Amino acid sequence: MSARRPSIDRRGFLSSASAGALGLLLPVAARAAAPASDDASIRPFQYHATDAQLADLKRRVQATKWPDRELVGDISQGVPLATMQKLANYWANQYDWRKFETKLNSYPQFVTTIDGVPIHFIHVKSKHPNALPIIITHGWPGSVVEQMKIIEPLTDPTKHGGTAGDAFDVVIPSLPGYGFSGKPTQLGWDPVRIAGSWITLMDRLGYDKYVAQGGDWGNAVTEQMALKKPAGLVGIHTNMPATVPPAIDKAIKDGAPQPADLTPDEKRAWEQLDYFYKHGLAYAQEMGNRPQTLYALDDSPVGLAAWMLDHDAESLKLMMRVIDGQPEGLTPDDVLDNATLYWLTDTGVSSARLYWESKLPFFAPKGVTLPTAVSAFPNELYTAPKTWAEKAYPNLIYYKRQPKGGHFAAWEQPAALTEDLRAGFKTLR
């Protein structure tokens, strides 16, 4: 009688049925994917894609059914065909997932179940005493890939231009429905609920004093943590602050003329917001209204990557330059590490549901009174002026307008963000 081949899903997780049939304990990765009641234990985690998964990915990339070329010479119709074909060729013939997988697994990773959902996180402790714990949250279309470049500078500052007094213990969780965290099977997983889970996570890790950081959804979650005011949270940092005055927001959406009394920085922010509201919200509107319709994201790796690249105009332009071989803060491998992670974990649709769940306005001030540090990057969806930040965060302890960088700050400009985290939290240690 031949042995029955174990069933392994596309995420590389051994099914519970197969594990039972083989008399095996479920590996951590499988437990992370399975529904579970709250288990406060913290379990080690590593991820290994199967050769079959990677071969299937390559086959699907090579079998892409391409659309006609766009009819314009710019990005006004979306991601250019030549960009995607060049990226796909690299993906199928040169890209090496194993290189990234090895790097990822070099960091201590864990899973713990919170409110019924397994939460994956990287947790790297500094060798320096009195390191300040920090929980860093990614956004969409990001993942823990975004923050991996700042782990060493934060945890081992003496090797990266800092002092022992700059050290952090770093916690980087995967949002529910993203990456290696579980996919919620019940409604209600919005940034408010996730913020509560992050507070639980830091409590479980034994931290009675810590700070939090985020951009995109990471900002939404971080701000909600600040609004909950847990005893251990002493301050936050954001690289996509919510500072837009209600009157400004309404005027832009109503098509009103720009007020004459705006400062140069405020005028620039107005222009960026006006462009984003008119041209950059399509992906968010689709995911916010009909995320389940996006079946192609879980069926076509090239379709998934194109959807992810088109997050915002400046990020797309950056990634187009990267794919064309120009030296930038990102590389083609960076772009594909993130896209491949989404593909292997089947999280194109599940990640989109966060837009459906959230009822929070992205850019409106939320009334955060906790000490707040702000990094304003020039190619963010909008560059928050200091005047707006001071009103949105009455306890603003740090503000810096960076000369370069955009939406994915830790990924694109890790040195600049590291500098701001060190300086921004210095008074809270």
Average pLDDT of the residues in 10-21: 35
Task: Indicate the CATH number of 101-243+281-428 among 3.40.50.1820, 3.30.70.120, 1.10.260.40, 1.25.40.390.
Answer: 3.40.50.1820
Selecting among 178, 355, 382, 398, the annotated active-site residue is 355
**Cα torsion for 72, 78, 83, 87, to the nearest 10°?**
-160
Q: Label residue 188 exposed, middle or buried (CB < 10 Å: 0-12, 13-18, 19+).
A: exposed
Residues 6+ away with beta carbon under 8 Å from 419: none
C-beta of residue 370 within 8 angstroms of C-beta of residue 223: no
108-141 burial by CB neighbour count: b if 16+ within 10 A, else e? ebbbbbbbbbbbbbbbbebebeebbbbbbbbbbb
Query: pLDDT (tens digit, 9 = 90+) per residue, 264-285?
Result: 999 999 999 999 999 988 899 9
Map residue 294 onto helix, strand or coil: coil
Q: Which of 216, 310, 334, 420 is catalytic?
A: 216
The token pair at 32 is: 């992370």
Is the pLDDT at 41 greater than 50? The verdict is yes
Q: Is the pLDDT of residue 80 over 50?
A: yes
**pLDDT 10s digits, 334-382:** 999 999 999 999 999 999 999 999 999 999 999 999 999 999 999 999 9
- Tens of pLDDT, residue by residue over 310-319, are 999 999 999 9
Helices (H), 258-347: 264-275, 282-289, 301-309, 313-323, 332-344
Answer whether the bond into residue 327 is a cis peptide, omega within 30°.
Answer: no
| 417 token code pair | 């963000």
Identify whether 68 is a catalytic site residue: no
Residue 216 designated active-site: yes
pLDDT score of 357? 98
Q: Which residue would you say has higher pLDDT here, 31 or 330?
A: 330
Interaxial angle between packed helices 217-228 and 191-204, expressed in degrees from 0 to 180 and rounded to the nearest 10:
70
Q: Is 279 part of the annotated catalytic residue set?
A: no
